[in-house]
Amino acid sequence: MTDKTLFPQIGGLIHGCDYNPEQWLDRPDILKEDIRMMRKAGINCVTLGVFSWAAYEPRQGEFHFDWLLREMDELYENGVYTVLATPTGARPAWLDRAYPEAMRVNRDGSRNLHGLRHNHCPTSPAFRERAEELIRRLAKEVRGHPGLILWHISNELGGECFCPLCREKFREYLRRRFDNDIEKLNRAWWTAFWSHTYGDFDEIDPPMAHGESSIMGLNLAWREFTSWNMGEYIRFERELLNRVTPGVPVTTNFMRLYGTLDYQDLSKNLDVVSWDSYPDYHNDRETLARTAEGVAFDHAVMRGMKRDMPFLLMESTPSLVNWHSCNKLKRPGVHRLSSLQAVACGADSVQYFQWRKGRGSYEQYHGAVVDHLGTDDTRVFREVAEVGELLKKLRPVTGSVLEARAAVLFDWSNRWAVADLPGLGKECKKYEDVCRAQYACLRRLGVETDVVSPLAGLDRYALVAAPMLYLLKPGTARRLTEYVRGGGRLVMTYLAGYVDETALCFLGGFPGDGLRELFGVCSEEIDTLYPSDRNRAVFSDGEEFEIRDLCEVLRVSDAETLAVYGDDFYAGTPVVTRKRTGRGEAWYAAARIEDRGMERIYRRCLEDAGVELRPMPEGIEYHQRRGVRGTFGFYLNHTDAPQQAPAVSGGRDLLSGAELQDTVRLEPYGAAVVEENLNGGEPVEKALTGFSDKGERAGNFR
């Protein structure tokens, strides 16, 4: 086992925030007070420079970096490191005036006017020239600064641009993808339908609001292009940074399961994955535990992109946001709990948007560590300072990772293809919800679970759940087959393997691309139920589970039937099957079976595979992180009542200092982090000397 610490110079977990001193340059008293309060709150890192273009370059060619360097120096002298953003998340007005082509064109063909943020055209050479000039100068200014630990490219990149340059680049992308062979594209996109045949790549336009949107292959290719093009933009900034400040790692902040970018693909351009988490805690739909279950899934998606290293929680709010439909305060204790949840799930940081509320403009009421009141004597500040103290106690956790035995496959292209699939029920596809539900089932059973791309290595998992894997990228079927032959248990559901990577249906039976043989079943028809319709999955021992939304009628050629449909004209036909192949098993669940039913299947697979299950009482979440400094069990109580959980192992609670034996007692919204006595490892204090000295740069990035 090696130390996966990302930033040895910090000597522990990051406690940080977005900080915008450029909004307060006329108030040196406030800037001074900020540093004092940061120390008090245990802040050891800030993210500077997000959206600071106008402060660096108020007029084209006139640069001001003095304020930044002054801040970085002062922060560093006070033990606060810097994550430095490139300022390309928003453009100054002069730039849009001089270079209107830097502004995006919308799906309806209209070009944006200046304003807002996150909306430059990623292709525009004029934009790139201006960005390059500024980023190069900025990087030179901060090169070698001991406080600089990480570059943060732009901010929450996203969206799409339909300008003439992007459209032309899309055509080039298609030429490359289809070997410059328009016939190949016509076949892949099935364009003989409705006389959509293209004679030349130049005839192709993206799916605009008033244009072609009925070709599934085109729609999917446009989504993939948009994501690829953003990746190309990230590489542009990254290469610039790497040239001037080699060795400083690079990230960009992701947004949960953001729809228009394939984060799994984009993460290949980053050294560390980071994301911004803003759940609507205390909403009126669900319990806090349920909301937290969703956040655990989101963390697992982030962790799954670079599985063997920690990720960063780049932003979260200490109190409330300003953009949900109703913006509730985090109740006392919930900020502590959500911060510890991030660490439990593999984050080596808890960072906030934002340090101090701005006086005006769009985010003037967004939560911050320091309110307009301006003091450290507030509930929010005290809770943030408490998190700072707790993170110090959790120093030994730094650089440790989770070791999952199960995985849920999740894929962006599949997501796009399912959403665009013309048919079934409008409201019943729910791909993301179904993936979340499978993750929650596995977590309830008590097995650590990753969420990974179908192209990730699967050997480490005893069980892989592949819900609704409608689109199979090349190589997926072969990998899944090898996984099962090698001893894995694969549970695939309805809507599996219908189309290839261009959204073209497989012939010869679903699931296609050879998976029919793996499962020994073939889906002959798929039935869509009305929201009020139900069917049943009846197992051979008589246990029954409800079915909703989607039911496939199977032909079974070579598999055992474990459950059959209870109702309708396909009553008595197989709904759950299993085929043993090689050393593993391929399970097929042909309908949307309620969670308890899926849990029955997963439990069976996990028990057969000899995986130790650690189920927790309702509302308690447990994760284990392992590293060179020990094994740490996180227990999180997502309820407002005291709870008790069975201890996975005895040991010392790093938060309270108490020695625990068989039971972990948790306060309402409380948590414990038990240094588990599993390997008879070194005492924590001794192992802590493993951190490098302040100033050393080498981390663990890939």
Tell me how far, at minimum, the Cβ of 233 lies from ligand GAL, in Å.
Answer: 17
Determine contact, residues 560/581, Cβ cutoff 8 Å.
Answer: no
Comparing CB distances to ligand GAL, the nearer of 315 and 450 is 315
Q: Would you call 610 helix, strand, or coil by DSSP?
A: coil
Which residues within the stretch 267-306 sit at the binding site for ligand GAL (CB under 6 A)? 276, 278
Tell me how far, at minimum, the Cβ of 295 lies from ligand GAL, in Å.
Answer: 15
Tell me how far, at minimum, the Cβ of 155 lies from ligand GAL, in Å.
Answer: 5
Residue with tokens 């699931």, as numbered in its chain: 511
The reply to whether 156 sits near ligand GAL by the rule CB under 6 A is yes
Tell me how far, at minimum, the Cβ of 315 lies from ligand GAL, in Å.
Answer: 6
Roughly how many angstroms between the first and final C-alpha of the chain, as a whole number? 17
- By rule CB under 6 A, what string of x and - marks binding of each residue 360-379 to ligand GAL? ---x--x-------------
Tell me how far, at minimum, the Cβ of 299 lies from ligand GAL, in Å.
Answer: 17
Comparing CB distances to ligand GAL, the nearer of 160 and 276 is 276
CA angle 581, 584, 588 (to 5 degrees): 75
The whole-angstrom separation of Cα 412 and Cα 400 is: 28
Q: Would you call 644 helix, strand, or coil by DSSP?
A: strand
- By rule CB under 6 A, what string of x and - marks binding of each residue 111-150 to ligand GAL? ----------------------------------------
The whole-angstrom separation of Cα 123 and Cα 164 is: 10
Comparing CB distances to ligand GAL, the nearer of 110 and 364 is 364
Determine contact, residues 427/420, Cβ cutoff 8 Å.
Answer: no
Alpha helices in 472-565 (DSSP H): 476-485, 515-519
141 is catalytic: no
- Options 71, 237, 293, 315, the catalytic residue: 315
CB proximity list for 303: less than 8 A, separation 6 or greater: 273, 311, 345, 346, 402, 450, 451
The whole-angstrom separation of Cα 529 and Cα 428 is: 9
- Options 22, 71, 101, 156, the catalytic residue: 156
315 is catalytic: yes
Which residues within the stretch 525-584 sit at the binding site for ligand GAL (CB under 6 A)? none
Residue closest to ligand GAL when measured from CB atoms = 353
Comparing CB distances to ligand GAL, the nearer of 317 and 624 is 317
Determine contact, residues 681/631, Cβ cutoff 8 Å.
Answer: yes
Comparing CB distances to ligand GAL, the nearer of 122 and 627 is 122
* Binding-residue total with ligand GAL (CB under 6 A): 10
Comparing CB distances to ligand GAL, the nearer of 50 and 616 is 50
Q: At what angle do helices 379-393 and 28-41 cross, to 10 degrees?
A: 50
CA 288 → CA 225, 331, 439, 618, 669, distances in Å? 38, 11, 17, 12, 10
Determine contact, residues 330/338, Cβ cutoff 8 Å.
Answer: yes
CB proximity list for 32: less than 8 A, separation 6 or greater: none
- By rule CB under 6 A, what string of x and - marks binding of each residue 343-362 to ligand GAL? ----------x---------
Question: What ranges make up the beta strands (E) of 508-593?
Answer: 521-528, 535-539, 544-556, 560-565, 574-581, 584-589, 591-593
Comparing CB distances to ligand GAL, the nearer of 368 and 550 is 368
Among 44, 52, 82, 155, binds ligand GAL (CB under 6 A): 155
Comparing CB distances to ligand GAL, the nearer of 295 and 575 is 295
Of residues 515, 509, 534, 499, the one with CA closest to residue 422? 499
Tell me how far, at minimum, the Cβ of 366 lies from ligand GAL, in Å.
Answer: 5
Which residues within the stretch 45-64 sit at the binding site for ligand GAL (CB under 6 A)? 50
Compute the Cα dihedral for 152, 154, 159, 160 and give only its sign. Answer: negative
Among 315, 383, 501, 599, binds ligand GAL (CB under 6 A): 315
The reply to whether 256 sits near ligand GAL by the rule CB under 6 A is no
Comparing CB distances to ligand GAL, the nearer of 5 and 319 is 319
Residue 511 preceded by cis peptide, ω within 30:
yes
Tell me how far, at minimum, the Cβ of 488 lies from ligand GAL, in Å.
Answer: 38
The reply to whether 513 sits near ligand GAL by the rule CB under 6 A is no
> What's 547's DSSP letter?
E
Tell me how far, at minimum, the Cβ of 352 lies from ligand GAL, in Å.
Answer: 10
The tokens of 80 are what?
């606060």
Tell me how far, at minimum, the Cβ of 670 lies from ligand GAL, in Å.
Answer: 27
CB proximity list for 610: less than 8 A, separation 6 or greater: 462
Tell me how far, at minimum, the Cβ of 122 lies from ligand GAL, in Å.
Answer: 17
| Dihedral (Cα; 379, 380, 384, 390), 10-degree rounding | 40
Comparing CB distances to ligand GAL, the nearer of 123 and 316 is 316
The whole-angstrom separation of Cα 137 and Cα 131 is: 10
Buried b / exposed e over 324-333, threshold 16 CB at 10 Å, is eeeeeebeeb
Comparing CB distances to ligand GAL, the nearer of 224 and 276 is 276
Determine contact, residues 648/623, Cβ cutoff 8 Å.
Answer: no
Length of the chain: 702
Tell me how far, at minimum, the Cβ of 105 lies from ligand GAL, in Å.
Answer: 23
Residue with tokens 């699939």, as numbered in its chain: 421
Per the DSSP assignment, residues forming a β-bridge with 313 are: 275
The whole-angstrom separation of Cα 71 and Cα 64 is: 13
Among 321, 477, 522, 660, binds ligand GAL (CB under 6 A): 321
Q: Return the active site residues.
A: 156, 315
Site residues, ligand GAL (CB under 6 A): 50, 155-156, 276, 278, 315, 321, 353, 363, 366
